[in-house]
Structure 1
C-alpha cells in the first residue's frame, strides 16, 4: 500500500461533521494503488458494517457509548486487510419524524408526546394512557403483534437518522475507508437502506419486527451464500447488529457450513444496554448456531 492509514482516516474527527481529508483526494489515491480487482480474489470475503452512522456515534442523537473506538478499530481492520476483503456492504438506518417509534406519533390524555425511551404496551393503548395520532388501527395491530410474535415492547427512541440530515450519514472517517476500498478494489459499494416503513421498526437488515406484507430481503440472504467469510461490525451490539445476526443465522440454521462463515468482530461494536446481559445474549446465540466471535486485533484473514 502506497497510501498510509492516516492519509485515509483521521481518528480525531470520528463522529464529527467536518472531514479534514477531501474525498476526491482519497479516491484519487485509491485509484493510484493499482490493487487487484475484487473479482480476482480467490477467497470471497465480505465486510458488513451495520448502521455505522453519525447519529449512533458517542455524541450522536442516539449515541452508543464506545462507537468512536469501534470505528477506529473497524477502519484499521479494513486497512490491514485491504487485499483480503473482497467486498464491503453497509446498512443505513433511514427515517422520517413520523414513524411509530418516534415521539410525535403518540400523545397522552393531555396531548403530550412521550419522552424518549418510554415503553408503550398494548395495555397502555387499551387504557388510553397513550394513543397514536395517525393510523390508530394499524398502530394497535403493530404493538399487539410486536408483543405476541417478537416478544418485545415498543420503545420510543430519540429522533435519529432522519433522511437527508447529517445524522443519517455514514460516519465520515468510516466512509473514507470503505469508499477507498471500493475504488481501490474496483467494485460498486451498494448500501442497504432500512427502516423507512413508518409503521414498523427494522432493527435487523433482513426484515422488520412486524409488518403486514411479511417483507424479507431474500436477495441479500442469497448474496451472503456467495462469500467464504462474512465479517460483521457496527452499532448497536444489542439492537441492530444482534437482530441482523439473528435473522441471518436463523435463515441458515440448517446449513452448518454456512453458519461457520459468519465472524463477529466483538471489539468493533458497542451496546446500549448492560454489557453482561449482552455478553450472555451472544454466548447463547453462539452456542445455538456455532458462528465465530473474534477480535479485530487478533483475527487473521
Structure 2
C-alpha cells in the first residue's frame, strides 16, 4: 500500500497549519479496505493517543523531552497499521484548561500576594490544614521551598490534597500555563493531525475524541476520570463509555504524553477498571518508545511498567508486529 506523501518525520517538530484537505484526498485515493466488515465481525483494533498536543512537545509550554521522537515513531506505526488494514479505531484524548484551575499559579499566593513562579513545576504539600487559611509548602524542582496559601476555595483545596494523598495520587502540582483554550498548545501536533485525518478517510472510521481538564477545582490527569470526582459536573466521574470501547476491541494500543502523569494515570485507570477482567488487559499493549516523561528519573515511570506487566499488558515498541 502507498504511504501518504505528506508524511515527513522532519516536519514533526514544526508548528504549521495542517493541510487536512490534502490528507483527506490522499486517504480517499488510498484504496485501503474499509473497516466496515472488520467491525461487523468483531475484529476491532484500537489505538489510544493520550494528549499528543503541541504544549507537551519540547518547544511547548509544558515540555516533555523526547516527545518529538515519540511522534515520529508513532507516525510510522500509524502508517503501517492503516496500510496493513489493522487499526479500525483511533481514540484521541485532548487536555484543555480554563483560565483558573487548581494547578495554575493564580490559585496560590505567597505572603506578599505573589503567585508561584511556574517557570518550573511546583509541588504543593499541605503544611497547616487550617480550613480558613491553610498553608502549603511549594517544593520547586531545583530544591527551593516557599510558603503559599490558596487564593480560592481554601477548604476544598485542603480536602482535595488530602484526597490525592489518601488515594496515592501524590500532591497538588502547579504547572506552567498549558493547553489553554484558544492557544496553539491545545492542538494535536500538526503532522499527527494530518495522519489521523488520512487514516480516518482511508479506512472509513470516525476518530473518537475525549476532552479533559475543564473542571477548575480538580486535576484531570488520566483521561477516564478526574483526580477527584465532581458529581455536579457532567464529566465529573468515571468515563465508562470510553473504557467500554476498549473492552470490545480485539486489541488496544496506548501511547502519549507524559508517562509520569497523564499517561500513567490513564493506564492505571484502565488497569483498575478491567482488573477483574484479565482477558481484556491481556489484549492491551503499551507503545513504550512512543511516550516520554516530564521527570524521566521519577520512580513512577518504572512503577507503571511493573504495574502494567503484572496485569498482563504487553510493553512493545513501534516496530513490533501487530496483534491479530
Deviates more, 1:270-279 or 1:89-98: 270-279
> Number of matched residues?
298
> In the alignment, is residue 98 of structure 1 matched against residue 120 of structure 2?
no
Structure 1 residues 76, 202: CA separation in 2 closer, same or farther (over 3 Å shift)? same
Match of 1:159 in 2: 177
Match of 2:269 in 1: 247
Question: Secondary structure at the residue paired with 1:122?
Answer: strand
| Residues 150 and 209 in structure 1, CA contact (< 8 A), matched pair in contact too | no
In structure 1, the gaps of 5 or more residues are: none
Match of 1:256 in 2: 278
Identify, as 1 or 2, the structure richer in strand: 2
Match of 1:73 in 2: 73
TM-score (norm 1): 0.93
Q: Distance between the aligned counterparts of 1:219 and 1:293, measured in 2? A: 25
Match of 2:139 in 1: none
TM-score (norm 2): 0.87
Deviates more, 1:35-44 or 1:49-58: 35-44
Which of residues 25, 37, 51 is equivalent to 1:40?
A: 37
Match of 1:227 in 2: 249
Following TM superposition, by how much is the alpha carbon of 1:81 offset from its aligned partner in structure 2, in angstroms?
Answer: 1.4
Once the two structures are superposed, what CA deviation does each residue of 1:135-187 show, in whole Å capped at 9, x if it has no partner?
22222221222222234101111100001210000010111111110111111
Runs of 4+ with deviation above 6 angstroms:
none
Match of 1:189 in 2: 207
| Residues 271 and 278 in structure 1, CA contact (< 8 A), matched pair in contact too | no
Identify, as 1 or 2, the structure richer in helix: 1
Question: Secondary structure at the residue paired with 2:127?
Answer: helix
Deviates more, 1:47-56 or 1:268-277: 268-277
In structure 2, the gaps of 5 or more residues are: 137-146
Structure 1 residues 33, 268: CA separation in 2 closer, same or farther (over 3 Å shift)? same
Match of 2:16 in 1: 18
1:1-301, aligned counterparts within 5 Å?
1-2=1-2, 4-5=3-4, 7-19=5-17, 22-41=19-38, 42=41, 43-82=43-82, 83-116=85-118, 117-123=121-127, 126-127=134-135, 129-213=147-231, 215-275=237-297, 277-301=299-323
Once the two structures are superposed, what CA deviation does each residue of 1:21-78 show, in whole Å capped at 9, x if it has no partner?
6221111111112322222225210000000000001111001000001000101001
Q: Distance between the aligned counterparts of 1:40 and 1:24, measured in 2? A: 26
